[in-house]
Amino acid sequence: MSQLLIRLSKLSSRNTNVCIHKCVRLFSTGPYLTLGTRVQEVLPSGCKTGDVLLFNPAKEEIVTLHGKTIPKELKDEEMIGASHGWSFFYDRSDLSVRISDIYNPFASKSNPTVITLPRLTDLPSEQIEQVCNVAMSSPSPLGEEDCVVAIKFSGDQLSLCRPGRDLEWTNTSTPFHCCENSNVMYSKRYKRFYLSAPGGIHFFSYHLNDNIEHHELAYRDHPELDQSEWKILSMCSRREYLVESSCGDERYLVKWYAHGSYSTVLDGIEYKTKRFMVFSEEETAEGKFMCYTEDIGEMCIFIASNEAFCIPASSCPGLKPSTIYFMGHGFGSYDLTTGDIHHSKAPDGVITTPCWLPPVSV
């Protein structure tokens, strides 16, 4: 886990008001963006105590959870993703992976849950250094459900295992080298993991010890843009995300466009979000179609290094309906109805793998 002492900066909001650093006792949660930890004390046991730092997008403020124990198992590990509010950590020195609820505001302060998974192994000619994202088939790796964890690496490798049951990972390779930087998601409706090929036309689905299935999406409707706008988008990088509501009745394909330009500060290419496109899955007498929409009703979509998810805006006062909250190519929110981008200033020292956590019901 990042041991960086995070220096908190002021966060900009639409009306330029300064956001407040707030320390609260929480009775309802999130969603929150993980920012990292701030170590206060090293204990004789090897554990550490400190503050867990989260960002509340509804109020645009930092939330500090004081006095959290940071388990010694996580002290040298890097956060690689999150799913259903559980954070995943990776020790590159011994290829071990652990799951923890350390960022859950309602988890134990003194004894956060840490679940150790089998050590990763790589397929021939594949590398497991860089992780795209992780996903889980159920809300908790400790539940009675037969939970399956999936890790998608940069390249063709997808690894799956059942926490507490499997002694090794099941490794599979994506076909045709077409999903090298794709993000994995789990569909509650279809009970399979999904990966998208570039362009969002072809998808592949997986389940533990099952054959790979190929899916081709048919599209209806596209945004009405003039030729110059399409030309700008053609020069942007693009990533696709499949997002499904918690009950599985709504499914969206999100296309994220970001324009890259040289930054003297970074001494490299810096990408900034240009726009999003959302296509909603609709069933008709002629079959299933992905239909372009600028209105997803009360839903909000959250995309970062986590498994993307969506929730109703009414579940957390202050969230804006039909909005995408993002962290990656910039930090902010995108109003699907107007196309406006609201940029927030990321706190200094933010961890390299910030993840959105869905609300936790108590």
Q: Given a cut of 70, is residue 2 above it in pLDDT? A: no
**pLDDT (average), residues 318-347:** 92
- pLDDT attached to residue 120: 95
Radius of gyration in angstroms for the set of CA atoms belonging to the chain, rounded to a whole number = 20
Alpha helix locations (H) across the chain?
A: 227-234
**pLDDT (0 to 100) of residue 28:** 55
Angle at 58 between CA 57 and CA 62, to 5 degrees: 50
pLDDT digit string, tens, across residues 319-332: 999 999 999 898 99
Given a cut of 60, whether residue 113 has pLDDT beyond it is: yes
Q: Is the pLDDT of residue 46 over 90?
A: no
DSSP 8-state symbol, 7: P
Six token digits for residue 308: 């993307």
In angstroms, rounded to a whole number, what is the distance separating the alpha carbons of residues 287 and 221? 15
How many CB atoms lie under 10 A from the CB of residue 177? 10
**Rounded distance, CA 31 to CA 63, Å?**
11
Residue range 337-349: mean pLDDT, rounded: 83
- Model confidence at 19: pLDDT above 50: no
Q: What is the pLDDT of residue 211?
A: 81
Instruction: Identify the weakest region by mean pLDDT among 15-19, 27-31, 75-79, 248-252.
Output: 15-19
Amino acid present at 190: Y
One-character DSSP codes across 175-243:
GGG--TTPPPEEETTTTEEEEEPTTSSEEEEE-TTS--EEEE--EE------HHHHHHHHTSEEEEEEE
The rounded mean pLDDT for the chain is 86
Statement: residue 298 has pLDDT above 90:
yes
CA distance 349 to 137: 32
The 10s digit of each residue's pLDDT in 231-247 is: 999 999 999 999 998 88
Position 348 scores a pLDDT of: 64
What confidence score (pLDDT) does residue 267 get? 84
Residue type for 61, please? Answer: E
For residue 284, pLDDT over 90 is answered with no
Q: Decide the pairing of beta strands 21-22 and 61-70.
A: parallel
Task: Say if residue 21's pLDDT is above 70.
Answer: no
Query: pTM of the entire structure?
Result: 0.88
Give the pLDDT confidence of 163-200 residue by residue, as tens digits: 999 999 999 988 877 888 899 999 999 999 999 888 88
Cis? peptide before 31, omega within 30° of 0: yes
Measure the CA–CA gap between 327 and 49, rounded to whole angstroms. 27
